Structure 1
Amino acid sequence: MTNSKTTATGAQKKRQQVLIWTVIIGVTVGACVLGAITGDSDTTVPAPAADERSGTVPILQAAADSQGICYGWRLLDGYDPVSVGSNLGDGTPVEDAAGCARWIEVTANVFYTSSSSESNDSAAIRVRGSSDIEFSDLSAIESGLGRFGLDEDAFVDEPGWAVTRAATMLPLLATERGLADPAAVPTAEPATPAAPLPDAGSDFWRDRWVLLLTTVGLFLAAALFIAVGVRQRNRQRREAGPAQRAGAGPAGRTRENA
């Protein structure tokens, strides 16, 4: 009878070990599959909000009317245009526009990378203009944007807000370079974002919180199975101990030998 109990205990132990390893393997495979599905974050460059675009156009209109220079903005996602606008209106480029012999435009090309990529997000900011405006003046205007906090980090964090804000700074910087007289005081203030935009590209924690929570839940389930298995094994050992001792006689002899 003791051998039968021992055999049954061993078989049950093996089944428990198989169950535990099955759960662990399932947790690992599930985490890998979920990671492959949700690993890449959205790399789309967001366009300026409607209020940012509508608030920028009248400012550029006032500056163009008083200075005789057209101003605009252009936001790109790699080679794909995201937003374009000018003193002529949202969606109207300033280059080659009728009535804009002289023009200045800020162009921002934002590059977002996936969360799994080792490359960092980046942005290239350029100031372009009509042929009658010297390259040195355009370069100075481009460098001057940094004085207003419109550097690469600002364009990476909030590209829509940054490009429209940069456009409203062009008349002031053009005045500093002696390209035009000071612009008329605008009747509207540059729009500010209603709420900070989320970081894009390589933010691991933001884009993978579902994966992390799911993985933690799976591992907790595995730990629960392991704890139950260990508890059952200890209980079986305690129950098997008295039975084995009862089958032995004095001086280590079994009852059958006695």
Structure 2
Amino acid sequence: MAAAQHPPRKGGPNTASKAGAWTIWLTVGLVVAGCVGVGIVNGGGDSDKVSPPTAQERDDTVAVLARSSASQGVCYGWELKDYFGYGDPVSVGSNLGNGVAVEDNPSCPRWLQVSVRIYYPSESSDSDDNAYVDVNGSSDFSSTELLRIANGLERLGVTEKVFVDDPGWAATRAAVMLPLLAVEAGAVEPAATPAPAAAQPSPLPDPGSDLWRDRWGYLLAAGGLLLVTALLITVGVVQRRRQRRGVVPAQRAGAATAASRTPENA
């Protein structure tokens, strides 16, 4: 009799190895997903977000830079970025307006720009917050001049701590200081100060009449004589009136005495 043949058993060594591989890959996937989720949660907080300048700060900065650019012939601007950010910067602007950069701008053959990158590490990191500040410019500005301008920002109070605490305000504040620091570094000529208008000379006094200028002594003497004469005449008139007042009462008294005499009294 032929020996009975048994069917092959299911679930051999190949099946067990495949199950183990799937388990390993599933574990790795869960670990990676957990790390990504933690990174998203830690990176999505408001405390790690680079704050842009306010609308008022941007408008005021554009107005100041426009005046400086018109007087010095140099375009000035700012650029604020997140160290981990990609794509558009957090804020950019210049004397040409908010959102308009000066770098590679055909309207700005000469330009200076303060570039700021803010580094906010995750809460689980041991790194500190940092701000990386650079001053860039067109090719006619030397690296020494750009370095002097960048170092001047901290001297004027815009320090790394200020950039970390309030990036938007600090970036616009640094942009406003660029014209002054560029003049101090000798990279830009100071703005021309308009000369005050020449004052009109005061008119000469009226020379007057030659008669009064040449004969003023005689005229003064004549006026004095007239004044004395008028005074004497006035005194004479007053005395004459007093004399007449004294004579009239005397005459009236004599007339009354004569009238009182009657023929009988006579």
Under a length normalisation based on structure 1, what TM-score does the superposition of the two structures give? 0.55
* Counterpart for residue 75 of structure 2: 70
2:185 corresponds to 1:177: yes
* Greater mean deviation of Cα atoms: 165-174 or 117-126: 117-126
Hey, what's the Cα distance between the residues in 2 that align with 1:152 and 1:179? 24
Letter in 2 for 1:76: K
Tell me the alpha carbon deviations over residues 235-255 of structure 1, each in whole angstroms, 9 at most, x when there is no partner.
xxxxxxxxxxxxxxxxxxxxx
Cα displacement (A) at 1:99: 2.3
* Counterpart for residue 124 of structure 1: 132
8 Å CA contact retained: 1:172, 1:183: no
Hey, what's the Cα distance between the residues in 1 that align with 2:185 and 2:127? 37
After superposition, the Cα gap between the structure-2 partners of 1:184 and 1:158, relative to the gap in structure 1 and judged at 3 Å, is farther
* Counterpart for residue 56 of structure 2: 51
Cα displacement (A) at 1:115: 2.5
* Counterpart for residue 90 of structure 2: 82
Tell me the alpha carbon deviations over residues 4-54 of structure 1, each in whole angstroms, 9 at most, x when there is no partner.
xxxxxxxxxxxxxxxxxxxxxxxxxxxxxxxx8976643111111111101
Under a length normalisation based on structure 2, what TM-score does the superposition of the two structures give? 0.53
Alignment of 1:125-144 (within 5 A): 125-144=133-152
Could you say what the CA RMSD is over the residues aligned between the two structures, in angstroms?
2.0
Cα displacement (A) at 1:183: 3.8
Alignment of 1:152-231 (within 5 A): 152-183=160-191
* Greater mean deviation of Cα atoms: 60-69 or 76-85: 76-85
Q: Structure 1: which 5+ runs fail to align?
A: 1-35, 186-258
Instruction: Count residues in correspondence.
Output: 150
Hey, what's the Cα distance between the residues in 2 that align with 1:133 and 1:39? 41
Hey, what's the Cα distance between the residues in 1 that align with 2:52 and 2:65? 19
* Counterpart for residue 223 of structure 2: none
Letter in 1 for 2:188: A
Cα displacement (A) at 1:119: 1.2
Q: Which has the larger radius of gyration?
A: 2
* Counterpart for residue 65 of structure 2: 60
* Counterpart for residue 117 of structure 2: 109
8 Å CA contact retained: 1:67, 1:182: yes
Q: Structure 2: which 5+ runs fail to align?
A: 1-37, 194-266
8 Å CA contact retained: 2:145, 2:186: no
Cα displacement (A) at 1:154: 0.7
After superposition, the Cα gap between the structure-2 partners of 1:39 and 1:174, relative to the gap in structure 1 and judged at 3 Å, is closer
After superposition, the Cα gap between the structure-2 partners of 1:96 and 1:38, relative to the gap in structure 1 and judged at 3 Å, is closer
Higher relative contact order (CA 8 A, sep 6+): 1
Tell me the alpha carbon deviations over residues 97-139 of structure 1, each in whole angstroms, 9 at most, x when there is no partner.
1221110000000011223321111110000000011010000
Letter in 1 for 2:103: E
Cα displacement (A) at 1:150: 1.1
8 Å CA contact retained: 2:158, 2:174: yes
Hey, what's the Cα distance between the residues in 2 that align with 1:53 and 1:39? 30
Cα displacement (A) at 1:171: 0.1
Cα displacement (A) at 1:152: 1.0
8 Å CA contact retained: 2:79, 2:114: yes
8 Å CA contact retained: 2:113, 2:175: yes
Tell me the alpha carbon deviations over residues 69-109 of structure 1, each in whole angstroms, 9 at most, x when there is no partner.
10000000024310000000000000121221110000000
Cα displacement (A) at 1:165: 0.1
